[in-house]
Each structure stands twice: as structure tokens, then as C-alpha cells.
Amino acid sequence: MGRIIEEIYVWRLPVRLYHWINALCTVALFVTGLYIAAPLFNPPLGEAVWYKGMSWWRYLHFAFAFIFVANFLFRMYWALFGGDKYGRFGGFRPWSPSWWGKPFLEQVESYLFIRSEEPNYVGHNPVAALAHFLFIFCGSSFMIFSGLAMYGENNPGGFNSVWFGWMIPLFGSSYTLHWAHHLMAWIFPIYLIMHLYAVFRHDVVDRTSVTSSIVTGYKHKVEEEPV
């Protein structure tokens, strides 16, 4: 390892907390969600009311879901009002054509090995920002809206049914919404694979200790090593 020439405090505690709560919830929601769709285990023989073979899994799903929602809302708050340079979604402007310009293209080219220089960012690079936007922001929003709409089916006319129930006619039927929620669940493992790969790779290629940064908060700039 080369000498550390700079140490930057990138991920402040709220972002790190958000990150790990989010990671935990996503995994838990994916597992419990799939179990709800295809319950595997047989309870031992006995009276139905003794066992929670299904309701326990559903309960977990909903519990994690509400933590997930709160955490998500908190992150939105932090981005807007946190006054956190790297925690804002400041430079992210996908609706403006200029955003798709040079920095973005350079990053894409670099991932495609067309360009040998790796651009270096302290916060999110533009491709990562786009991935976060699509998978995490849009994906989570969809899971939350559809999930709350389905949750609201338990109590027609109640809060969730009034505020999120319109998702059902939008998707055509309750079944179609379940189906879409189920299908979209798969974006999370896909994201996880790409995300972990990107993180580890950047660590190896840029040597900025990104991996530990999401635990410690610090990114390091390391001096080029003489070979």
C-alpha cells in the first residue's frame, strides 16, 4: 500500500446508518417476500391457531417494510435538508441533456475499457448515481407504493387504501400488482451484485478504500506505488 496522501470524510454517520439499515431491510424483504409467495415449511401437526407459519413471515415482511420506508424517507430528508456535501444528490440532473455529457460519458467509457484513465470521484460517480436513482430510488419507490397499496387491501377505506389504493386500478387488478411487486423484487439482488462488484473493483483499481468507507466514513487518496 502506498502512503495515504489525503483522507476525506465522505459518508457521514446518517448516510452510513441509512446504508446499512437499507441493506438489511432489502435482504430481509426479499427473503420474506419470496417466502410469502411460496411458503416452504410444514408446521408440525396441531391446531392452526398455535402456529404462525405464514403470518410470522408476513409480519416480518411488513415490519421490515415499515423500517425500510422510514429509512428511505429519512434519506430523502437528509439529501434535501442535511447540508451534507456528499449526501446531497446535488449534481444529479438526468432530465438535463448536459448531465449526460462529458463526465457521464467518460465514466461509461472507462467501465467499457474504451478509456484507460479512471475518472475519480469523491462522492458518487455519475454512473453510480444513475444506478442508485434507477434501482434504489425508483425501485424502492415502486416497492413502497405497491406494497402499501397491497397492505391497504386489508382495510378498504383506511389510510393506505385511500392513499395508495389507486395503484390497483393503475395495474389493472390486485393480482397484477402482486405480480409486479414480486417481479420488481428481483432488481434488488441484481443491484446488489453489480453494486458489490463495482465497490470492490473501484477499491482495487482506484485504491481509494471505498469498501471501508461505508463503515468508517473515510475515503483515502493513496500515493501511486512505485513498482
Give the count of residues interacting with another protein (CB under 8 A): 46
For the chain, the helix, strand and coil percentages under 3-state DSSP, each to the nearest 5 = 65, 5, 30
> If contact means CB under 5 to 8 A according to the sort of partner, which of another protein, ligand HEM, none does residue 149 touch?
none
Asked if 67 interacts with ligand HEM (CB under 6 A), we say no
**Judged by CB under 6 A, how many residues of this single chain contact ligand HEM?**
43
Q: How far apart are CA 155 and CA 169, in angstroms?
A: 17
Task: List beta partners, residue 4.
Answer: 222
Asked if 94 is part of the footprint of another protein (rule: CB under 8 A), the reply reads no
Q: Which of residues 161-180 bind ligand HEM (CB under 6 A)?
A: 178
Of these, 166, 212, 215, 223, which contacts another protein (CB under 8 A)?
166
Using the rule CB under 6 A, is 22 a contact of ligand HEM? yes
- The yes or no reply on residue 119 touching another protein (CB under 8 A) is no
Q: Quote the CA–CA distance of 124 and 202 in Å, as a whole number.
A: 12
Q: Which of residues 17-76 bind another protein (CB under 8 A)?
A: 34, 37-39, 41-43, 48-55, 57
Residue 22 binding target from ligand HEM, another protein, none, CB below 5 to 8 Å by type: ligand HEM
Shortest separation between residue 157's beta carbon and ligand HEM, angstroms = 17
174 binding another protein? (CB under 8 A): yes
Q: Cell for 162?
A: 385511500
How far is 202 from 212, CA to CA, in rounded Å? Answer: 12
Q: Is 1 in the site for another protein (CB under 8 A)?
A: no
* Given 14, 17, 58, 174, the residue binding ligand HEM (CB under 6 A): 58
Q: What is the DSSP letter of 6?
A: E
The end-to-end CA distance of the chain, in Å, is 11
d(CA 11, CA 84): 9
**Segment contacting another protein (CB under 8 A): 62-70, 75-83, 86-94, 175-183?**
175-183
Q: What is the largest CA-CA distance in the chain?
A: 71
Amino acid at 50: W
Per-residue burial over 93-131, b if 16 or more Cβ lie within 10 Å, else e, is eeeeeeeeeebbebbeebeeeeeeebbebebbbbbbbbb
Give the interface with ligand HEM as residue ranges (CB under 6 A): 15, 18-19, 22-23, 26-27, 29-30, 33-34, 36-37, 58, 61-62, 65, 68-69, 75, 124, 128, 132, 136, 143-144, 147-148, 150-151, 178, 181-182, 185, 188, 192, 195-196, 199, 210-211, 213-214
